[in-house]
């Protein structure tokens, strides 16, 4: 049955891909975004789409978009340089903005999904990370504005589930990439792709031995949709469990772009997690989901987008 769906952070990387999937399934989407890190270019192709409406608004101010069946709360600065610049905004959108959005789900009896993050695990002492691991987070370091906002949002979401009976879902998103990942938002894949295509040196922070596990956006959106329609209320990891060092990631980017760029080593940001890899057994079991696209395949699928931004 066709639904009316609210997506916050709708002009962002994930919000815009999610919107495309929902519209493709025949639903109507109301997208809201204050454009602090979102980009209207990500939704320009939806102009004239009768089942799509966009509202530029800050979700930290209470709002109402009328009756909806489902709510996806994707709004937040998400790349480290951006959330460090927008520190107070990041704390506010995770707390006040998330509460305002939960209120809408409560008001209309809508299903609610909050985009949480692997950052809830901090610099993890358990490897790989299962959902039962409570994490190793510095609550007062520079990254805390993001980590603690996201952890508070999880707590708030669980409270709306337990005390107000809202049908909530929490996805812990691991590093994700693909077309529309902002070319200058400072993330490793966008930095490396743009540097490789421009023939600049790839900036490896630290010794490049820290690891990440990269999920292609289409795989991630599929996992998020399945979770939003499930009966699972506790946090669920969605990500690709294949782990790469940052040096291996640089190598993959050089291969896919055919670039001859060299590497340059730069200082490691404070509290940069040394490793990160999701245990996705729960998503496999509960959602029958697992990622299908390898890093090299996904980088190839992203190539045209990054080339268009050079
Ligand atoms: N990184 C890097 N070079 C860059 C950008 C990032 O070596 O130009 C490293 C960063 O220090 C981290 C990893 O790549 O260890 C992933 O960083 P990103 O900002 O993409 O996301 P994070 O997982 O830290 O939130």
Name beta bridge partners: 116. 172
Does one domain contain both 143 and 166?
yes
Q: What angle do CA 119, 121, 123 make, to 5 degrees?
A: 85
Does one domain contain both 162 and 14?
yes
Q: Indicate if 163 belongs to the active site.
A: no
Name beta bridge partners: 117. 173
> Can you tell me the mean pLDDT for 55-72?
98
Does one domain contain both 81 and 224?
yes
Q: Per the structure, how many domains does the chain have?
A: 2
**Which residue among 83, 121, 146, 160 is the active-site one?**
146
With a 6 Å cutoff on the Cβ, whether 239 touches ligand 1 is no
What's the CATH number where 282 sits?
Answer: 3.40.50.720
Does one domain contain both 234 and 131?
yes
Name beta bridge partners: 108. none
What's the CATH number where 206 sits?
Answer: 3.90.25.10
pLDDT number for residue 1: 86
Task: For residue range 80-119, list pLDDT tens digits in order.
Answer: 999 999 999 999 999 999 999 999 999 999 999 999 999 9
With a 6 Å cutoff on the Cβ, whether 187 touches ligand 1 is yes
The answer as to whether 192 is a domain residue is yes
CA 35 / ligand 1 centre spacing (Å)? 23
With a 6 Å cutoff on the Cβ, whether 90 touches ligand 1 is no
The ligand 1 atom at the shortest distance from the C-alpha of residue 210 is: 15
Q: Is the pLDDT of residue 308 over 90?
A: yes
**Where does the pLDDT of residue 160 fall: very low under 50, low under 70, confident under 90, or very high at 90 and above?**
very high
pLDDT number for residue 62: 98
The ligand 1 atom at the shortest distance from the C-alpha of residue 276 is: 23
With a 6 Å cutoff on the Cβ, whether 203 touches ligand 1 is yes
Radius of gyration for the alpha carbons in the chain, expressed in angstroms and rounded: 18
Torsion of CA 297, 306, 290, 273, to 10 degrees: 110
Task: For residue range 20-36, list pLDDT tens digits in order.
Answer: 999 999 999 999 999 99
Does one domain contain both 205 and 229?
no
pLDDT number for residue 262: 98
Does one domain contain both 96 and 46?
yes
Does one domain contain both 204 and 161?
no
Q: Is the pLDDT of residue 196 over 90?
A: yes
Does one domain contain both 34 and 103?
yes
* Domain of 255, in residue numbers: 188-211+243-276+295-307
Mean pLDDT of the chain, nearest integer: 97
Task: For residue range 206-262, list pLDDT tens digits in order.
Answer: 999 999 999 999 999 999 999 999 999 999 999 999 999 999 999 999 999 999 999
pLDDT number for residue 186: 92
> Can you tell me the mean pLDDT for 188-206?
98
The answer as to whether 182 is a domain residue is no
Does one domain contain both 141 and 261?
no
Does one domain contain both 20 and 130?
yes
> Can you tell me the mean pLDDT for 290-307?
98
Residue of 255, 241, 284 lying closest to 118 (CA atoms) = 241
> Can you tell me the mean pLDDT for 182-195?
96
Does one domain contain both 102 and 203?
no
The answer as to whether 173 is a domain residue is yes
CA 191 / ligand 1 centre spacing (Å)? 9
Residue of 26, 104, 13 lying closest to 61 (CA atoms) = 104
Does one domain contain both 22 and 151?
yes
- Closest residue by CA, ligand 1 atom 24: 272
pLDDT number for residue 141: 96
With a 6 Å cutoff on the Cβ, whether 188 touches ligand 1 is yes
């Amino acid at each position: 049955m066709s639904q009316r769906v609210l997506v916050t952070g709708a002009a962002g990387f994930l919000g815009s891909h999610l919107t495309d999937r929902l519209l493709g399934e025949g639903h109507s989407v109301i997208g809201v975004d204050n454009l602090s890190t979102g980009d209207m270019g990500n939704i320009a192709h939806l102009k004239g789409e009768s089942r799509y409406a966009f509202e530029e608004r800050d979700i930290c101010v209470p709002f109402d978009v009328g009756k909806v069946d489902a709510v996806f709360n994707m709004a937040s600065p998400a790349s480290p340089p951006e959330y460090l610049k927008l520190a107070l905004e990041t704390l506010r959108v995770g707390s006040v903005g998330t509460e305002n959005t939960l209120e809408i789900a409560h008001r209309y009896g809508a299903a609610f999904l909050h985009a949480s993050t692997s950052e809830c695990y901090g610099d993890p002492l358990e490897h790989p990370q299962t959902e039962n691991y409570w994490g190793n987070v510095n609550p007062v370091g520079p990254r805390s504005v993001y980590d603690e906002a996201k952890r508070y949002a999880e707590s708030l979401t669980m409270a709306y589930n337990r005390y107000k009976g809202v049908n909530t879902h929490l996805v812990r998103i691991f590093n994700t990439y693909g077309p529309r990942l902002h070319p200058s938002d400072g993330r490793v894949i966008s930095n490396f792709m743009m540097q490789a295509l421009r023939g600049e040196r790839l900036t490896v922070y630290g010794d490049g031995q820290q690891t990440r596990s990269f999920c292609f956006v289409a795989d991630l959106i599929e996992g998020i949709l399945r979770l939003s329609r499930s009966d699972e209320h506790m946090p669920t990891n969605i990500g690709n469990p294949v782990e790469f060092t940052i040096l291996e990631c640089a190598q993959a980017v050089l291969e896919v772009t055919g670039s001859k760029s060299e590497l340059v080593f730069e200082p490691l940001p404070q509290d940069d997690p040394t490793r990160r890899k999701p245990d996705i057994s729960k998503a496999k079991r509960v959602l029958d989901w697992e990622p299908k696209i390898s890093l090299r395949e996904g980088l190839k699928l992203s190539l045209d987008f990054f080339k268009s931004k050079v």
